[in-house]
Structure 1
Amino acid sequence: MIEITNLTKEKIVAGFLKKVAEKATKVLGKKDFAEISLVLVGDAKMKEINKQYRGKNSVTDVLSFEGLNEIVICWPQAKRQAEAMAKRARLDSAKRAKTPKNPLKDELTRLLVHGIVHLAGYDHERSGAAAREMSRIENKILVRI
């Protein structure tokens, strides 16, 4: 169902990521995702891919390639975003009780779900309405994980 290629030196939780992918495709009702390829890369590789395919000379957190059923996640960017999220939660006393136990795992989950929703044909960059619909679908999946 999901093939994971880790091009970083970091250890990954492949079993967990596979379960996330299975749950997301089930919620989406997408049986046609015979195989999804997830590639974890570093900053330099993500910047290169982002420039090549989107014309943006910068690092991004996740890219999806619908025709290939491929998702590329930038591990260092996911880690930075997870650390920032945890720091904001610690600083905001109202959110302190909701501070995630494993912010990196949560961020990787969010990014993988985001990528899978893109593979299902949703695109938040088309319009505000499309962005809201995509966000709604992502949240529907995330509450079930």
Structure 2
Amino acid sequence: MNLTIEFDTSIKSWRSGEEQLLQQLIRRLCKAVLQEKWFLQQKLGTVMCHVWVVGAKRIQGMNKVYRRKDKVTDVLSFPQYDQQWWNSSLKKRKAHPCMHLGDVVVCYQKALQDAKCFGISFEEEIATLLVHGVLHLVGFDHERSKLEEKRMFSLQEKLVNTILKKAKV
């Protein structure tokens, strides 16, 4: 897996060494996500994904532009392939030597705030946001229907629990 991680250098609240620790955590989590049985069954081959860790102001601007919602959000996903492509049979999908799944954008401050609010570790919140974002990249959309919402969040919970054990977070 080829993974690019970008950090918003305008975030004033970075603690010493935190960027590097977060980058290592994200790499371990993304690797664990893409090694899960469900993802392996998709026969994706080599995949590429960009993860952006940004501040509240930046994600609010992106949310306003791309979703027409002028508010801070925890995670945004920008999939490369649409639902129709993911729903096509494995045989009909065009093989790509290296597939770019898309981009996941995580808000650092919102993740810190939500972890505290939910009474969970920052690492668990980041894992949840990354899994949620990657599921959107591979065709899931909880806003499409109640059934899809149930499927997505059920898989998300299962993956997060498995990944946290594997990644030893």
Secondary structure of residue in 2 paired with 1:112: helix
2:20 is equivalent to residue 19 of structure 1:
no
Structure 2, unmatched stretches of 5+, are: 81-100, 164-169
- Provide structure 1 residue ranges, at least 5 long, that are not aligned to the other structure: 87-99
RMSD: 1.5
The amino acid of 1:83's aligned partner reads K
Question: What is the TM-score when the length of structure 1 is the normalising length?
Answer: 0.83
SS in 2 for 1:36: strand
Counterpart position of 1:70: 103
Partner of 2:131: 113
Matched pairs, number: 130
User: Does the CA-based 8 Å contact 1:62-1:73 persist in structure 2?
Assistant: yes
What residue number does 2:97 align with? none
Distance 1:80 1:140 in 2: 23
Return the offset for 1:38.
0.4
Aligned position for 1:5: 6
Could you report, residue by residue, the CA deviation over 1:87-137 in whole angstroms, capped at 9, with x for unpaired residues? xxxxxxxxxxxxx5xx11110111011001111100000011000000121
The TM-score with structure 2 as length reference comes to 0.72
Cα displacement (A) at 1:23: 1.3
Say if 2:115 is the partner of 1:82.
yes
**Structure 1 residue 140 displacement after superposition:** 2.2
Whichever residue aligns with residue 54 of structure 1, its letter is R
Segments ≥4 residues shifted beyond 6 Å: none
Question: By percentage of residues, which structure has more helix?
Answer: 1
